[in-house]
Structure formats: structure tokens, C-alpha cells
């Protein structure tokens, strides 16, 4: 087999085509941003309502909604996996990024279950920002980057606020880093399909 040689302009076009394909894949998978964004928003806001307004000692129970989100994520992933769509290096890189962030979420949960939950939201907001920032930079999608920066700023504020306020800051962070960019990705994908 003979290796094909590309000019610098052709190489840039190939790279841009890969980025555009990855954008379409991630936009199509805005499902995950929206599923997890809304799940976390409901859980953190629900926990605030139960703890602060209702004054229930069982306020953490709302986080069991994650079980449903995990099941829906797995079912959606299996369905998407059956499509046998060719995957680019960028697709695989984003998969590795989000797998590592998922592992970090789980390990942080175990850590705070052991040492106490008082500061957990600050760390989660940092991770919301990390995933959004890297994904936004790779895909050249500014709303993800802006949402990540906003999430980091909210994490910085959370250092100086109470656990109760941090629940609301977490809700705000997930809106700007997952929900709004997820809806924008979905809209962009739908308009590109037309």
C-alpha cells in the first residue's frame, strides 16, 4: 500500500472534518448532557428543598434518582452502540475524558461518604467545569467553555458559603455547564440535520 501525502491545507481540512464529525456525534449525544444535567439539578435542588424548607433528615434520599439516570444512560449507550458508526480519534478521546470524570465522581462520593459531605459540592462543580471545558475546547463549542468557567467561579464562591447554599450553587453550576450547553448542542444538531 502506498501512503498518501497531504498538503498542509488538505491536512487541516481532514482535521476540521474530524472535528465537525465529533461535534455532530456529541451534539447527537447531548442526551447525556441533558439527562445528567437535569438529574443533578433535580437532586441538588430537591435536597435543598428537603433539608432547608421541609427540614427532613432524609434529604439525601433525592440522590437515588441517579440510579434511574444510570439505567437510562446504559440503555441509550447500548442502543447507540448497535448503530456501528465509525468513530474518530476525537470521539474516543472524549469517551476517555468522560469515563475518567465518571470515575472521579464515584471516588469523590466514596471519599465524602467517609469524611463528611460538607464540602462535596465544590469538588463536583470543579468536575462539571473540567468536562465541559475540555469538551468545549476540543469541539470548538464556546457555550461549553463559558459554562465550565462559570462552574469554576461558582466552585470558588462555594468555598465561602454554607452547605445549604452550596446545594443551590451546584444547581446553578449544572444549569450553566450541562443543561444550557446541552440544549444548544441539541438545537445545533437538529438544525444541521435539516
- For 2, 77, 165, 176, the CA distances from 95, given in Å and listed in that order, are 32, 12, 32, 21
d(CA 52, CA 33): 28
Please give the pLDDT value at position 23.
Answer: 60
- DSSP states of 138-192: HHT-HHHHHHHHHHHHHHHHHTTS-HHHHHHHHHHHHIIIIIHHHHHHHHHHHHH
Q: Which range (31-35, 86-90, 127-131) has the least confidence? A: 86-90
- Report residue 6 CA to chain centroid gap: 36
Helices (H), 29-162: 30-48, 65-81, 89-115, 120-139, 142-158
Per the model's pLDDT, the better-predicted residue between 140 and 27 turns out to be: 140
pLDDT of 80 > 80? The answer is no
Please give the pLDDT value at position 184.
Answer: 92
pLDDT digits (tens, 9 = 90+) for 3-47: 667 777 877 777 777 766 666 665 566 889 999 999 999 999 999
Please give the pLDDT value at position 22.
Answer: 62
- For 1, 10, 11, 31, 87, the CA distances from 4, given in Å and listed in that order, are 9, 11, 11, 38, 21
Per the model's pLDDT, the better-predicted residue between 171 and 2 turns out to be: 171
Mean pLDDT taken over the chain: 88
d(CA 151, CA 66): 21
Look up residue 183 and give its three cell numbers. Answer: 440544549
d(CA 98, CA 120): 19
pLDDT digits (tens, 9 = 90+) for 93-121: 888 999 999 999 999 999 999 998 888 99
Average pLDDT over residues 49-56: 97
Amino acid at each position: 500500500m502506498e501512503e498518501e501525502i497531504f498538503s498542509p491545507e488538505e491536512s487541516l481540512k481532514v482535521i476540521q472534518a474530524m472535528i465537525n464529525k465529533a461535534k455532530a456525534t456529541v451534539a447527537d449525544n447531548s442526551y447525556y448532557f441533558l439527562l445528567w444535567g437535569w438529574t443533578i439539578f433535580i437532586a441538588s435542588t430537591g435536597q435543598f428543598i428537603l433539608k432547608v424548607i421541609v427540614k427532613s433528615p432524609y434529604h439525601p434520599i433525592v440522590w437515588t434518582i441517579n440510579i434511574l439516570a444510570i439505567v437510562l444512560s446504559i440503555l441509550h449507550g447500548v442502543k447507540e452502540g448497535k448503530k456501528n458508526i465509525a468513530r474518530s480519534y476525537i470521539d474516543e478521546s472524549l469517551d476517555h475524558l468522560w469515563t475518567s470524570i465518571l470515575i472521579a465522581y464515584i471516588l469523590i462520593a466514596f471519599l465524602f461518604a467517609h469524611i463528611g459531605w460538607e464540602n462535596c459540592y465544590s469538588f463536583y462543580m470543579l468536575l462539571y467545569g473540567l468536562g465541559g471545558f475540555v469538551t468545549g475546547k476540543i469541539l470548538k463549542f464556546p457555550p461549553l467553555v463559558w459554562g465550565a468557567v462559570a462552574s469554576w467561579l461558582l466552585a470558588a464562591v462555594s468555598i465561602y458559603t454554607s452547605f445549604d447554599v452550596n446545594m443551590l450553587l451546584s444547581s446553578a453550576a449544572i444549569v450553566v455547564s450541562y443543561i444550557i450547553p446541552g440544549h444548544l448542542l441539541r438545537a445545533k444538531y437538529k438544525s444541521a440535520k435539516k
